[in-house]
């Protein structure tokens, strides 16, 4: 993981467990641009195909967003911020990105045999997985 100083500063502004009012404020008032996609790429231990799938865009669009500094559509801004917050939370709970990734991709009995990563394509799914992380912090088997 090669996070540069500017990206690190951006990452520090993303809280673990971003609430709805803060999310609405950020997606409407901040310049959430393709730099955040690059930050997601740097912090999430997944390839472009996985990240573009979660964002409901094709890989070519994802890569073009990363190459050109441009403002993202509002739904992508929300999705990216939530994913960044989830990655922060996961690293906090599991101590490393690699351990968090292992948990994300492994089929989970408590999720009807699905892997947590299967839920990241929707906002509701991201929030659901984030709540699972919170439950783990308090000792629940998840």
Instruction: Identify whether 127 is part of a domain.
Output: yes
One-letter-per-residue 3-state SS of the chain: CCCCHHHHHHHHCCCCCCCHHHHHHHHHHCCCEHHHHHHHHHHCCCCHHHHHHHCCCCHHHHHHHHHCCCECCHHHHHHHHHHHHHHHHHHHHHCCHHHHHHHHHCCEHHHCCECHHHHCCCHHHHHHHHHHHHHHHCCCCC
**pTM of the complete model:** 0.90
For residue 142, what pLDDT band results from cuts at 50, 70 and 90?
low
pLDDT single digits (tens) 58-105:
999 998 887 777 889 999 999 999 999 999 999 999 999 999 999 999
Instruction: Identify whether 14 is part of a domain.
Output: no
Q: Which range of residues forms the domain containing residue 87?
A: 19-137
According to the model, what pLDDT value does residue 120 have? 98
Question: What's the whole-number mean pLDDT along residues 98-124?
Answer: 96
Instruction: Identify whether 45 is part of a domain.
Output: yes
Instruction: Identify whether 7 is part of a domain.
Output: no
Number of structural domains in the chain: 1
Instruction: Identify whether 104 is part of a domain.
Output: yes
According to the model, what pLDDT value does residue 1 have? 52
């Amino acid at each position: 993981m090669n996070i540069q100083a500017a990206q690190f500063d951006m990452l520090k502004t993303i809280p673990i467990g971003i609430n709805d009012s803060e999310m609405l404020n950020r997606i409407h008032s901040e310049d959430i641009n393709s730099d955040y996609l690059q930050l997601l790429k740097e912090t999430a231990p997944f390839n472009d195909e996985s990240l573009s799938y979660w964002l409901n865009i094709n890989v070519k669009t994802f890569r073009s967003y990363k190459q050109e500094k441009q403002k993202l559509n509002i739904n992508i801004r929300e999705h990216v911020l939530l994913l960044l917050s989830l990655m922060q939370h996961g690293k906090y709970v599991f101590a490393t990105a690699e351990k968090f990734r292992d948990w994300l991709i492994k089929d989970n009995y408590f999720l009807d045999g699905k892997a947590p990563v299967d839920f990241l394509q929707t906002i509701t799914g991201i929030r659901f997985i984030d709540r699972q992380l919170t439950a783990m912090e308090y000792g629940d088997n998840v």
